């Protein structure tokens, strides 16, 4: 055990040295101290530097090693107890989100606010709110700068939706309420697939999630969901889309069909950089008109964050329809580009990390003795996997799972692009030959 601890400590020390040297070389101040209040404006140069491959690797190593060293030295009873009670962090974070505490504290500035003043703005009990914020501050979300006086820190500042707090007081978290029904849904033997989902049980509905979301009485939930998706897109879209599949290699006037496009924010982002390409957006009628019109012989079918919404049986049907509409050699060949997360196993003995692309670049396994999937660094992928199940019966897939569903849908995996600093990969497939028996 001691040798493992020293290996982990060495990884942390080496990575801190790497961070310090990179930041000093760029003339950028090291990240803010999370124990100090902030207005949440951040440093643009520092934010950009976080995308540097060396910084990404160093930060990932520190995160993974710190979590693993803590788990290794801690009393197992305490570790299990903390994990079992971590739902309180989620519950308190949900309260802070619902009451728009980050916005209230941003407006107050770095001096923070007394819990009584925060509670007065939020119209809740000050004593309970102080206890909630103290629990979060204990987990480094918000900071308590004096007894019962709270301010944003760099972590809580990311919760700020950048609107006036007066505009934001409303309703409850879809994810949190759905999660409370996870165990019950697994025990359910109901025949209707949607009826057993945690979301369906939590909200007492048989409607599929997106159909429920578009009901008039759920307009607030729809608006909040749209705001969340917009925020995710704004933070990651450019690098995620333009650092993988080589859009610039397509011939001018090539046709890209954005399947499940919404209002076209993904294709717009690509078109800004490659105006010589043509784009068609396909989605539900409620999103865009003439959505049911099939597009044949496209050069690229793009599915960004669409595949994970569906179980294999449904995704396979979609892929079959796209395969039927695809161009095949010798007149040309349609490519299918799926932009989604690829799940890796935590097992050291299982070669389940994503394969490299055609150039030989591969998703890097974490250095020993870290978990090969980087542990807590990539925890968000596994949280999203649970969310996909709870709301939609969807799934974040391993690479073998992608290969299998593509094969059943009539496609052959050609290449995988792994993008530094981005959770999503680009999975590229081509039409599989039709086998005539």
Q: Please report, for the domain that includes residue 373, its CATH number.
A: 3.40.50.150
The whole-number pLDDT of residue 258 equals 94
Statement to judge: residues 37 and 107 lie in one domain = no
Cα 241 to Cα 267: distance, rounded to the nearest angstrom: 9
Statement to judge: residues 9 and 68 lie in one domain = yes
The whole-number pLDDT of residue 301 equals 97
pLDDT greater than 80 at residue 307: yes
Statement to judge: residues 160 and 297 lie in one domain = no
- pLDDT (mean) for 300-324: 95
- Closest to 321 in 3D by CA, of 341, 338, 300, 296: 296
Cα 244 to Cα 428: distance, rounded to the nearest angstrom: 10
Residue 345: inside a domain, yes or no?
Answer: yes
Number of H helices, E strands in the chain: 17, 10
pLDDT greater than 90 at residue 154: no
Statement to judge: residues 298 and 398 lie in one domain = yes
Distance from the Cα of residue 72 to its chain's centroid: 28
The whole-number pLDDT of residue 303 equals 96
Cα 83 to Cα 90: distance, rounded to the nearest angstrom: 12
Tell me how far apart the 2 most distant CA atoms of the chain are, in Å.
Answer: 77
pLDDT tier at 46, thresholds 50, 70, 90 = confident
Statement to judge: residues 104 and 253 lie in one domain = no
The range of the structural domain enclosing residue 265 comes to 227-431
pLDDT tier at 291, thresholds 50, 70, 90 = very low
Least confident of 153-167, 213-227, 229-243, 402-416: 229-243
Residue 27: inside a domain, yes or no?
Answer: yes
Where is the domain boundary, 46, 62, 81?
81
pLDDT greater than 90 at residue 278: yes
Residue 436: inside a domain, yes or no?
Answer: no
The whole-number pLDDT of residue 405 equals 97
The whole-number pLDDT of residue 193 equals 57
**259 is written with which tokens?**
């399947």
The whole-number pLDDT of residue 2 equals 81
Say how many C-beta atoms besides its own lie within 10 A of residue 326's C-beta.
22
Statement to judge: residues 422 and 285 lie in one domain = yes
Statement to judge: residues 401 and 300 lie in one domain = yes
The whole-number pLDDT of residue 170 equals 39
- Arithmetic mean of pLDDT over the chain: 84
Residue for token digits 């124990």?
35
State the number of CA atoms in the 13 A half-sphere of 404 facing the CB.
Answer: 8
- pLDDT (mean) for 36-61: 82
Specify the DSSP class assigned to residue 87. H
- pLDDT (mean) for 322-335: 90
Percent of the chain with pLDDT over 90: 49
State the number of CA atoms in the 13 A half-sphere of 423 facing the CB.
Answer: 20
**189 is written with which tokens?**
């033997």
Where is the domain boundary, 167, 192, 210?
167
The whole-number pLDDT of residue 226 equals 72
Q: CB neighbours of 361 closer than 8 A, spacing ≥ 6?
A: 417, 418
Say how many C-beta atoms besides its own lie within 10 A of residue 390's C-beta.
25
Where is the domain boundary, 54, 81, 108?
81
Sign of the CA dihedral running 139, 41, 380, 29: negative
> DSSP string spanning 245-282?
S-GGGSPTT-EEEEET-TTSHHHHHHHHH-TTSEEEEE
The whole-number pLDDT of residue 165 equals 44
Statement to judge: residues 205 and 269 lie in one domain = no
Least confident of 112-126, 192-206, 249-263: 192-206
Alpha-carbon torsion, ordered 199, 200, 206, 212, to 10 deg = -30
What is the number of domains present in the chain?
4
Statement to judge: residues 159 and 190 lie in one domain = no
Residue 139: inside a domain, yes or no?
Answer: yes
Statement to judge: residues 337 and 255 lie in one domain = yes
The whole-number pLDDT of residue 346 equals 83
Statement to judge: residues 213 and 343 lie in one domain = no
pLDDT tier at 288, thresholds 50, 70, 90 = very low
Statement to judge: residues 249 and 392 lie in one domain = yes
Residue 437: inside a domain, yes or no?
Answer: no
pLDDT tier at 177, thresholds 50, 70, 90 = confident
Q: Which helix (H) or strand (E) holds 413?
A: strand 411-418
pLDDT tier at 409, thresholds 50, 70, 90 = very high
pLDDT greater than 90 at residue 338: yes
pLDDT greater than 60 at residue 353: no
The whole-number pLDDT of residue 254 equals 96
* Reduced DSSP (H G I as helix, E B as strand, rest coil) percent helix, strand, coil of the chain, to 5: 50, 10, 40
The whole-number pLDDT of residue 285 equals 64
């Amino acid at each position: 055990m001691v040798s493992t601890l020293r290996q982990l400590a060495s990884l942390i020390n080496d990575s801190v040295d790497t961070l310090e040297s990179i930041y000093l070389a760029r003339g950028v101040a090291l990240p803010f101290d999370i124990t100090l209040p902030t207005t949440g404006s951040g440093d643009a140069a520092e934010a950009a530097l976080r995308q540097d491959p060396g910084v990404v690797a160093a930060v990932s190593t520190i995160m993974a090693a710190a979590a693993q060293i803590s788990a290794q030295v801690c009393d197992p009873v305490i570790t299990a107890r903390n994990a079992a009670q971590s739902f309180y962090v989620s519950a308190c974070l949900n309260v802070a989100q619902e009451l728009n505490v980050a916005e209230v504290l941003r407006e107050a500035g770095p001096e923070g606010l007394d819990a009584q003043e925060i509670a007065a703005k939020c119209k809740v009990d000050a004593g309970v709110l102080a206890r909630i914020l103290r629990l979060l501050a204990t987990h480094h979300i918000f900071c308590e700068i004096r007894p019962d006086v709270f301010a944003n820190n760099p972590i809580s500042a990311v919760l700020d939706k950048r609107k006036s707090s007066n505009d934001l007081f409303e309703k409850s978290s879809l994810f949190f309420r759905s999660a409370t029904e996870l165990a019950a849904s697994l025990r359910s033997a109901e025949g209707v697939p949607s009826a057993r989902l945690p979301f369906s049980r939590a909200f007492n509905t048989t409607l599929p999630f997106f159909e429920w979301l578009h009901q008039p009485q759920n307009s607030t939930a729809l608006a909040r969901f749209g705001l969340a998706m917009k925020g995710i897109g704004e933070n990651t879209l450019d690098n995620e889309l333009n650092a993988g599949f080589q859009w610039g290699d397509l011939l001018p006037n090539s046709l890209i069909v954005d399947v499940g496009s919404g209002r076209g924010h993904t294709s717009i982002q690509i078109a800004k950089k490659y105006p010589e390409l043509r784009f068609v957006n396909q989605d539900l009628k409620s999103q865009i008109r003439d959505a049911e019109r099939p597009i044949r012989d496209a050069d690229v079918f793009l599915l960004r964050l669409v595949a994970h919404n569906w179980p294999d049986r449904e995704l396979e049907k979609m892929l079959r329809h796209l395969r039927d509409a695809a161009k095949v050699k010798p007149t040309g060949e349609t490519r299918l580009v799926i932009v989604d997360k690829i799940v890796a196993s935590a097992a050291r003995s299982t070669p389940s990390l994503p394969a490299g692309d055609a150039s030989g670049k591969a998703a890097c396994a974490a250095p020993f003795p870290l978990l090969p999937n980087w542990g807590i660094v990539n925890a968000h992928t596994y949280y999203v996997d649970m969310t996909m199940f709870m709301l939609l019966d969807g799934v974040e897939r391993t690479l073998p799972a992608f290969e299998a569903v593509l094969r059943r849908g009539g496609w052959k995996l050609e290449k995988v692009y792994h993008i530094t600093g981005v959770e999503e990969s680009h999975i590229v497939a081509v039409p599989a030959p039709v086998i005539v028996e």
